[in-house]
């Protein structure tokens, strides 16, 4: 999830996760399980991927890039096409095919993530080509943008307690939604997880795999679940880590996120006060009060950021929310907060949400312009700076069927704010973004809520982390029950968002399943320390 819709140039492509989406949580009907026999789609399923070396700043030498072409509209496959950017690390030995990765978001570039963080997946190259992609509307794959309207969305949904006219806020959001449509082009009305899952089946066939082997994180678990519902007989070895909800409305998702982040903050503060260097002292209750006061003081009297513009309480909440996704970042967060409190230096906190995503390009040929065909790969330098938040909103809204009226939203806003602030005095009011962000957009699909359940597929491994601030552990349990007997749960008794990168035990069990088909018993667990495990169940 995005901690907030960051608009400073260096921070707009921030890490995926916070108030809007990674844990958040289109319209369309489930696809037929008959891929290349479906009328009008054979030319897409029959294509072959041409791989070549990637180019770009700090791109690993062994990373290869390619693309596939998919229909803009699966119901009208002759109405236009989109190119989707792919990247892969080739198998080091005999390859049994590919494993497809989705790193979450929604709205995150898989190609950029694999380029910068591929070392975590190198063990999988013992048996697979490790492949990822930029979903439609994301990164180089016809990226959506809201243009100048991004600022209007930020201002309307930044948690301001002084909203005196909710109807005026909703008018701004409705106008902004129209601007997003104008700036994004035809892809915007064909985004959402239902379409992205159909794209993955085209990828599967183009990669030469009879079944889809898949590792999805956070939002990627929603995408994997939808694929399994659409193509149950094409599911290979599938792992869902940091399991998303398939049923809760955006209002409840925001509350769950606020509670999860508050719990993670309290865990961090409990750790911090045990260190003499903790800027909040050694009393945890006083530390909690100091955090609330610090956020309030920054909103009332912002300090200059490293870029010259004001650094507010909302900025601090966004940065802290990002840092809480990994326990490994706690020492850095402690130092960054000390820098802010002692010297007014915001650079440490800004580091958690700043930085860019590298978009490797193919070494041969020039990427097509979006103008003309409307569907070619976008040059890296032309990817809009607001693509991540714009895509996140587009996908989440395409997946959400709820569209309360302006009167309903305005009438419930005060009550909702109270519930959110009760969930978290620090994060609560900023999470109201999730309640408002789809206003003015077309109603999304009800397919995920209504039909992604009771699946008849090969066994799938679902990993839930007890201390996950973005996707609460109960979502893992609820989604497993919803998916049915195919779902096998691994209980990670640790901290942070997802388990694969933070727990040696989870990493090993996931790799053993993907590489060798060795599935842990349902209800087995990994201990809170890296490498610890306890197969005794819940």
Q: Which two tokens stand for residue 134?
A: 């930029």
For residues 465 and 444, give the distance between their C-alpha atoms in angstroms, rounded to a whole number.
Answer: 29
Given a contact cutoff of 8 angstroms between Cβ atoms, the answer to whether 305 and 311 are in contact is: yes
How do residues 422-448 score in pLDDT, each as one tens digit?
999 999 988 876 778 888 999 999 999
Percentage of residues of the chain with pLDDT beyond 70: 84
Burial of 522 (C-beta count, 10 Å sphere; 0-12/13-18/19+)? middle
- The whole-number pLDDT of residue 24 equals 32
Q: Which two tokens stand for residue 276?
A: 């003499």
How do residues 115-170 score in pLDDT, each as one tens digit?
988 889 999 999 999 999 999 999 999 999 998 887 777 666 665 555 557 787 78
- The whole-number pLDDT of residue 155 equals 66
Maximum Cα–Cα distance across the chain: 68
- The whole-number pLDDT of residue 157 equals 62
Query: In this model, does residue 339 exceed pLDDT 90?
Result: yes
163-172, 298-307, 377-386, 458-467: which is most confident: 458-467
- The whole-number pLDDT of residue 488 equals 98
Query: In this model, does residue 2 exceed pLDDT 60?
Result: no
Core vs surface per residue 93-106: b (16+ CB within 10 A) or e: eeeebbbbbbbbbb
Q: What are the beta bridge partners of residue 526?
A: 492, 533
Q: Which two tokens stand for residue 356?
A: 């860019």
β-pairing, 303-304 with 310-311? antiparallel
- The whole-number pLDDT of residue 93 equals 80
For residues 526 and 354, give the distance between their C-alpha atoms in angstroms, rounded to a whole number.
Answer: 32
Q: What are the beta bridge partners of residue 361?
A: 55
Query: In this model, does residue 508 exceed pLDDT 90?
Result: yes
Q: Look up residue 400 and give its DSSP letter.
A: -
How do residues 90-124 score in pLDDT, each as one tens digit?
999 888 999 999 999 899 999 999 998 888 999 99
Output the CA torsion sign for 265, 270, 272, 278.
positive
Of 232 and 15, the one with more pLDDT: 232
Phi-psi map region of 355: left, alpha, beta (phi>0 left; psi -120 to 50 alpha): left
Complete DSSP assignment for 463-513: EEEEE-SSS-HHHHHHHHHHH-TTEEEEEEEEESS-STTT-HHHHHHHHHH
Q: Which two tokens stand for residue 319?
A: 């940065």
For residues 499 and 510, give the distance between their C-alpha atoms in angstroms, rounded to a whole number.
Answer: 10
**Which regions of 183-330 does DSSP assign to beta strands (E)?**
212-217, 235-241, 303-304, 310-311
- The whole-number pLDDT of residue 417 equals 86
- The whole-number pLDDT of residue 97 equals 95
- The whole-number pLDDT of residue 67 equals 97
How do residues 282-324 score in pLDDT, each as one tens digit?
999 999 999 999 999 999 999 998 878 899 998 899 899 999 9
- The whole-number pLDDT of residue 443 equals 94
At residue 349, the 3 state secondary structure works out as helix
Query: In this model, does residue 3 exceed pLDDT 60?
Result: no
Q: What is the dihedral of CA 338, 341, 344, 346, to 10 degrees?
A: 50
- The whole-number pLDDT of residue 277 equals 95
Given a contact cutoff of 8 angstroms between Cβ atoms, the answer to whether 83 and 50 are in contact is: no
Query: In this model, does residue 532 exceed pLDDT 70?
Result: no
Query: In this model, does residue 23 exceed pLDDT 70?
Result: no
What are φ and ψ of residue 259, in 5° steps?
Answer: -65, -40
CA of residue 341 relative to chain centroid, distance? 31
For residues 378 and 384, give the distance between their C-alpha atoms in angstroms, rounded to a whole number.
Answer: 10
Residues 6+ apart with CB under 8 A from 242: 23, 104, 217, 218, 221, 463, 464, 465, 468, 470, 471, 497, 498, 499
- Over residues 67-72, mean pLDDT: 97
Q: How crowded is the C-beta side of 24, counted as CA atoms within 13 Å? A: 36
How do residues 177-231 score in pLDDT, each as one tens digit?
999 999 999 999 999 999 999 999 999 999 999 999 999 999 999 999 999 999 9
Confidence of residue 47 (pLDDT cuts 50, 70, 90): very high
**Which regions of 172-234 does DSSP assign to beta strands (E)?**
212-217
Look over the chain and give the mean of its residue pLDDT values, rounded to a whole number.
85
Nearest partner of 325 among 111, 23, 20, 4, judged by Cα: 23
Core vs surface per residue 429-448: b (16+ CB within 10 A) or e: bbbbbbbbbbbbbeebbebb
Given a contact cutoff of 8 angstroms between Cβ atoms, the answer to whether 262 and 427 are in contact is: yes
Query: In this model, does residue 511 exceed pLDDT 90?
Result: yes
Query: In this model, does residue 14 exceed pLDDT 80?
Result: no
Confidence of residue 358 (pLDDT cuts 50, 70, 90): very low
Query: In this model, does residue 527 exceed pLDDT 90?
Result: no
Q: Look up residue 520 and give its DSSP letter.
A: P
- The whole-number pLDDT of residue 163 equals 52
- The whole-number pLDDT of residue 20 equals 35
For residues 390 and 195, give the distance between their C-alpha atoms in angstroms, rounded to a whole number.
Answer: 17
- Over residues 456-461, mean pLDDT: 97
Query: In this model, does residue 30 exceed pLDDT 90?
Result: no
- The whole-number pLDDT of residue 360 equals 56
Q: Which of 142-156, 392-406, 463-477 has the lowest mean pLDDT?
A: 142-156
How do residues 252-280 score in pLDDT, each as one tens digit?
998 999 999 999 999 999 999 999 999 99
Q: Which two tokens stand for residue 220?
A: 């990627």
Query: In this model, does residue 359 exceed pLDDT 50?
Result: no
- Over residues 479-507, mean pLDDT: 95
Of 444 and 22, the one with more pLDDT: 444
Residue with the two structure tokens 């195919």: 486
For residues 527 and 522, give the distance between their C-alpha atoms in angstroms, rounded to a whole number.
Answer: 15
Q: Which two tokens stand for residue 260?
A: 């999860």
């Amino acid at each position: 999830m995005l901690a907030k819709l960051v608009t400073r140039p260096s921070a707009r492509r921030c890490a995926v996760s916070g108030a809007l989406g990674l844990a958040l949580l289109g319209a369309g009907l489930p696809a037929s399980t008959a891929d290349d026999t479906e009328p009008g789609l054979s030319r897409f399923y029959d294509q072959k991927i041409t791989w070549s070396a990637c180019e770009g700043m700090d791109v690993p030498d062994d990373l290869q890039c390619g693309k596939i072409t998919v229909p803009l509209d699966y119901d009208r496959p002759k109405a236009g096409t989109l190119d989707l950017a792919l990247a892969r690390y080739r198998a080091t030995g005999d390859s049994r095919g590919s494993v497809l990765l989705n790193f979450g978001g929604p709205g995150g570039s898989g190609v950029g993530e694999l380029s910068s963080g591929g070392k975590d997946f190198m063990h999988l190259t013992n048996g697979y080509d490790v492949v990822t992609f930029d979903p439609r509307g994301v990164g180089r794959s016809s990226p959506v943008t809201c243009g100048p309207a991004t600022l209007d969305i930020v201002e309307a949904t930044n948690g301001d307690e002084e909203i005196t006219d909710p109807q005026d806020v909703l008018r701004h959001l409705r106008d902004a939604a129209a601007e997003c449509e104008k700036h994004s082009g035809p892809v915007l009305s064909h985004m959402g997880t239902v379409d992205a899952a159909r794209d993955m089946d085209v990828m599967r066939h183009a990669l030469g795999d009879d079944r889809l082997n898949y590792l999805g994180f956070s939002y990627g678990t929603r995408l994997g679940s939808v694929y399994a519902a659409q193509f149950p007989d094409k599911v290979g070895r599938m792992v869902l880590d940091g399991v998303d909800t398939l049923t809760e409305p955006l209002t409840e998702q925001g509350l769950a996120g606020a509670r999860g982040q508050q719990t993670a903050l309290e865990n961090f503060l409990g750790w911090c006060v045990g260190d003499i260097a903790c800027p909040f002292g050694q009393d945890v209750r006083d530390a909690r009060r100091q955090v609330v006061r610090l956020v309030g003081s920054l909103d009332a009297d912002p300090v200059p950021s490293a870029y010259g513009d004001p650094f507010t309480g909302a900025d601090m909440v966004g940065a802290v929310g990002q840092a809480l996704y990994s326990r490994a970042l706690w020492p850095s967060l402690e130092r960054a907060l000390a820098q802010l409190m002692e010297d007014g230096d915001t650079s440490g906190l800004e580091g958690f949400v700043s930085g860019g995503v590298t978009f490797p390009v193919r070494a041969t040929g020039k990427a097509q312009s979006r103008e003309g065909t409307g569907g070619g790969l976008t040059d890296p330098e032309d990817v809009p700076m607001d693509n991540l938040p714009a895509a996140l909103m587009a996908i989440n809204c395409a997946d959400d069927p709820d569209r309360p009226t302006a009167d309903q939203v305005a009438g419930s806003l005060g009550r909702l704010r109270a519930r959110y602030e009760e969930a978290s005095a620090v994060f609560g009011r900023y999470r109201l973004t999730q309640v408002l962000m789809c206003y003015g957009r077309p109603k999304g699909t009800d397919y995920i809520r209504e039909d992604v359940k009771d699946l008849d597929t090969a066994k799938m491994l679902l990993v839930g982390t007890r201390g996950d601030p973005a996707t609460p552990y109960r979502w893992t349990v609820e989604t497993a029950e919803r998916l049915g007997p195919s779902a096998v749960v691994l209980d990670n008794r640790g901290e942070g968002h997802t388990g694969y990168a933070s727990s040696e035990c989870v990493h090993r069990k996931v790799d053993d399943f993907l590489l060798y088909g060795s599935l842990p018993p349902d209800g087995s667990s990994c201990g809170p320390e890296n490498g610890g495990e306890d197969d005794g169940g819940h």
